[in-house]
Structure 1
Amino acid sequence: MNFATLYRSVKVNLHQRVLDFVHLLVQNRLRHYTGAATSDFLFDKASSQAILHTERFKAIFKNHIPTDEELIIILLALVPHLQPAFYSHLIQEFFPEGGDFPEFGGVKGLNHRGILPTGETALFVLAGSNLEKRLPIQTLLHHNAWLSQSGILQLEPVKAGEPTMSGRLLLDEEVVELFTLGKVLPPRFSNAFAAERLATEQEWSDLVLNDYTQQQIRDIQIWLQHNHTLLYSWGMHKKIKPGYRSLFYGPPGTGKTLTATLLGKHTQLEVFRIDLSQTVSKYIGETEKNLSRIFDKAQHKNWILFFDEADALFGKRTNVRDAHDRYANQEVSYLLQRIESYPGVVILASNMKSNIDDAMLRRFHSVVHFPKPNAAERLILWEKALPQQAKLADAVDLANIAQKYELTGSGIINVVQRVCLEFLTQNLTAITNDILEIAIRKEMEKEGKMV
């Protein structure tokens, strides 16, 4: 039956359309291969176009219009996510007695018991045994081809000596989610993805920074707004590298993380925090693997990557004394390479600028200082932090408290939380100086400061 007619006459959901299309496609190839059909007909053009122009596939491909061959390779990789025994049952139709069928390719997974398609599967389905047709299809799976460069599908690397096309067709997890669920789920923090998604209900008005720091943050906002025009409409991609790299440095609690989060919030970009002190592994080679997974996932999504505790990897590089020193320096070089090639915003955070290696500093577009707030800024922080319900006693002089105690923004929030809980617990009518002083003393002792 002509698929275009089927789509017009029967309301079939997209998942079933894909299964039916690939079933007919592979069936036609197997018929031709076994001699049951003399024609090399594979599919009706209208059938592939009907799938291509659905909303979910438009969302996957964005502005690119894939060829039929690219679309079919993606569909071949997608099918096991919909029907685990799909390929096993199809092959059994033609080879009921079983046996090896190496021409079809395919491998078993560690957990998946059905057949997982490989590059050889794509070559067989699209070109059969025709070498002249197989070679152009093979180029579609090259790492420089659109499928790989877009991040939609990769050909799994194989062991040395194995045919390249014996690698599995690996669809990006988000492509699978978008097709099967209709939406992309935020990645979860795990050993395989050591990055935490940052979000906030706060606004720029909640952030208290000095004028110079604000101007430097404005520079990043300008880049986010105009970088695409600068690089591609003005042709500057030939002269400057993609991406924007910034160092945020200053004491804990001065707004580095909140600033990065707000940059994402107001540009509708996801922000992910990578704690380098947790990502760096004592095992040689593991740090590169941990970081590679993050960059590979972020590469085509324009995420803002916020590397916290940057000193853990970007501290002053050591002289090479042993194998671990050599690999430590290699880890720095690897991350430098990935950061410089990343097309989005990368922010590194450190407590002190002097902790960061000089070679790294030269690669930043901006170095932004987040100093401790002065007395005037602390007063604003106090006023913003205290909720309206928590009334202050008449004797409380916030200006004097702001002048007297050198707390950071996060320190002030901690104090306010303590006094508000005390206010509620004791059913007070107002917060007194004594309550404030006790909470401030506890906070400063926690930070190791003299009161």
Structure 2
Amino acid sequence: MQNANTIIKEKEAFPSSENGKPGSSYLAAALKYLENYAAVWLEAYFQEKAPVFEPPPVPSGQDTSPFARFVKQFKPSKEEMLLVLTALVPHIIPGFFDRMVQRCLPEGGEFPEFGGIKGVNHRAMLPTGETAMFLLAGPDLDERLKFLQLFGEQSGLFKHKVLSLELPPPGEPLLSGRLILEPEFAEVFTTGKVALPRLSTQFPAEHISTQMEWNDLVLSERIWLQIRELENWIKNSETLMSEWGMGKRLKPGYRVLFYGPPGTGKTLTATLLGKYTGKEVFRIDLSMVVSKYIGETEKNLAALFDKAENKGWILFFDEADAIFGKRTGVRDAHDKYANQEVSYLLQRIEAHSGLIILASNFRNNIDEAFIRRFNSIIYFPPPSAEERLRLWQQVFPAAVSLEKDVDLEAIASGYELTGSHILNIVQYICLSALEKGEQRVSMADILRGIQREMEKEGK
């Protein structure tokens, strides 16, 4: 069974909305197969005769619909195919299972062997593990015991996060929980694409992107070399871990610390890294994730990592010292749970298979015990005079011309500003010029913008 990395990445495993459509021919044939399969089992059950099944349909070589590609790449067994279809069908045919039961019980009645529960908003039957087990084995006890392993966490569909089995209330049978097709798969099978998650309490991360290019980022050669190392890991990590067999010796994923003053390019570097490697980047502000309520921080982080698992996303933790700062001794219950939060986050970070970037203004703010866990540490210093000059030279829009009295070299040498400062200043200058109906910028305009920015910084 193939790794989920080759299945879930919609850009590689599934066609996007531009280069492919969800398609209906093969999926319709598969759902018809499920209907016939269920009808045979139900008829055999009520008429007490042996069921005879047809084999599941096989997608054609030309079929590039998402569900067909999933079947070709994942190569599910007949039983796994039934599990996926059972979990998928409510997303397409809401009353599917109700109608199947009504055919056998036209006057109504209970049929507990078939399982199923009602949803909160969904008024039709939702399949449970019991529903799937009936379709797999009917009332045959030996077959039911044999197929129980399909619902285990190490079973392919569950291990690779295609399916999950909702935990039932305490004391109730395990298979009475809902059989759930993970949202990404439900979405891609029905729409042909996967929408990126939005910032919410269930997903405390914000998708970030940029229209800027690597040329817009002014960094030293030392930093560029370290960034190339990260690109190399993204490009070759799967080969290193799988084909070269280093997965048994190395921890999964890659962990990096970006540190340096605000405005020196940490966030932009992470965003451009995603842009040029084809990876989505999500920024997590740990100061927002950390909750004053015991257990809520772990819950917030679990939701994030569970969603990001095997997606190939770059996770950028901003303000990392909010949780990775110097640990304290345990003086009270708050300290105890704060340290537990750190331990939990560290555990999830070390188990994550993707690239994780933690950003901090100061390296000394991060506990040394955590520093040792990073594969790479990159310092983003304030730009030098030469780098500031390059920033000034390239940041003005083409529509603006500089007066002859503008001395960018003197400005770069005389004012220790970061790239973020310079961008703010130029924005102010350009807006002022537009307000006056001008397209030329003088030395006085720039100095006025610098003074305004420094006052804002309290300097």
Write the distance in 2 (CA, Å) between the matches of 1:235 and 1:50. 33
* Preserved contact between residue 317 and residue 358 of structure 2 (Cα < 8 Å): yes
Write the distance in 1 (CA, Å) between the matches of 2:399 and 2:29. 58
Could you tell me which of 53, 65, 72 is aligned with 1:55? Answer: 65
- CA positional deviation for 1:275: 1.0
Could you tell me which of 270, 274, 277 is aligned with 2:287? Answer: 277
Deviates more, 1:427-436 or 1:369-378: 427-436
Counterpart residue type for residue 219 of structure 1: E
Matched, 1:220 2:227: no
Kindly tell me: are residues 102 and 16 of structure 1, through their superposed partners in 2, closer, same or farther at Cα, counting changes over 3 Å? same
1:325 aligned partner: 335
Counterpart residue type for residue 37 of structure 2: L
Kindly tell me: are residues 312 and 62 of structure 1, through their superposed partners in 2, closer, same or farther at Cα, counting changes over 3 Å? farther
- CA positional deviation for 1:12: 6.7
Deviates more, 1:135-144 or 1:276-285: 135-144
1:3 aligned partner: none
Counterpart residue type for residue 33 of structure 1: Y
Could you tell me which of 149, 159, 175 is aligned with 2:169? Answer: 159
- CA positional deviation for 1:15: 4.9
Counterpart residue type for residue 33 of structure 2: F
Matched, 1:249 2:256: no
2:29 aligned partner: 17
* Preserved contact between residue 415 and residue 443 of structure 1 (Cα < 8 Å): yes
Matched, 1:72 2:82: yes
Task: Please show how residues 190-201 of structure 1 align to structure 2 within 5 Å.
Answer: 190-201=200-211
1:32 aligned partner: 44
Write the distance in 1 (CA, Å) between the matches of 2:209 and 2:64. 32
Matched, 1:420 2:426: no
1:5 aligned partner: none
- CA positional deviation for 1:429: 4.7
Matched, 1:312 2:322: yes
2:8 aligned partner: none
TM-score (norm 1): 0.93
Partner secondary structure for residue 151 of structure 2: coil
Write the distance in 2 (CA, Å) between the matches of 1:263 and 1:257. 10
Write the distance in 2 (CA, Å) between the matches of 1:323 and 1:181. 48
Partner secondary structure for residue 161 of structure 1: coil
TM-score (norm 2): 0.91
Counterpart residue type for residue 150 of structure 1: H
* Preserved contact between residue 258 and residue 380 of structure 2 (Cα < 8 Å): yes
Task: Please show how residues 320-399 of structure 1 align to structure 2 within 5 Å.
Answer: 320-399=330-409
1:433 aligned partner: 443
Counterpart residue type for residue 148 of structure 2: Q
1:135 aligned partner: 145
* Preserved contact between residue 154 and residue 171 of structure 1 (Cα < 8 Å): yes
- CA positional deviation for 1:226: 1.8
Instruction: For residues 312-337 of structure 1, give each alpha carbon's deviation from its aligned partner in whole angstroms, at most 9, with x where no partner exists.
Output: 11111121122222111111111111
Could you tell me which of 48, 52, 62 is aligned with 1:41? Answer: 52
2:100 aligned partner: 90
Write the distance in 2 (CA, Å) between the matches of 1:288 and 1:111. 28
- CA positional deviation for 1:377: 0.5
- CA positional deviation for 1:19: 3.5
- CA positional deviation for 1:135: 2.2
Partner secondary structure for residue 400 of structure 2: coil
Counterpart residue type for residue 49 of structure 1: V
- CA positional deviation for 1:50: 3.9
- CA positional deviation for 1:39: 2.8
1:444 aligned partner: 454
Write the distance in 2 (CA, Å) between the matches of 1:249 and 1:33. 66
Deviates more, 1:391-400 or 1:351-360: 351-360
CA RMSD, 1 decimal:
1.8
Could you tell me which of 115, 124, 132 is aligned with 2:125? Answer: 115
* Preserved contact between residue 285 and residue 319 of structure 2 (Cα < 8 Å): yes
Write the distance in 1 (CA, Å) between the matches of 2:190 and 2:60. 14
Write the distance in 1 (CA, Å) between the matches of 2:68 and 2:138. 29
Counterpart residue type for residue 43 of structure 2: R
Deviates more, 1:110-119 or 1:73-82: 110-119
> Unpaired segments of 5 or more residues in structure 2?
1-22
* Preserved contact between residue 59 and residue 72 of structure 2 (Cα < 8 Å): no
What percentage of aligned pairs have identical amino acids? 52
Write the distance in 1 (CA, Å) between the matches of 2:236 and 2:103. 57
Instruction: For residues 322-361 of structure 1, give each alpha carbon's deviation from its aligned partner in whole angstroms, at most 9, with x where no partner exists.
Output: 2222111111111111111111100001111111122211
- CA positional deviation for 1:14: 4.4
Kindly tell me: are residues 157 and 62 of structure 1, through their superposed partners in 2, closer, same or farther at Cα, counting changes over 3 Å? farther
Write the distance in 1 (CA, Å) between the matches of 2:73 and 2:394. 44
- CA positional deviation for 1:146: 0.8
Kindly tell me: are residues 429 and 200 of structure 1, through their superposed partners in 2, closer, same or farther at Cα, counting changes over 3 Å? closer
Q: Tell me the number of residue pairs that the alignment of Structure 1 and Structure 2 aligns.
A: 436
Instruction: For residues 60-82 of structure 1, give each alpha carbon's deviation from its aligned partner in whole angstroms, at most 9, with x where no partner exists.
Output: 35732111111110100011111
2:19 aligned partner: none
Counterpart residue type for residue 159 of structure 1: P
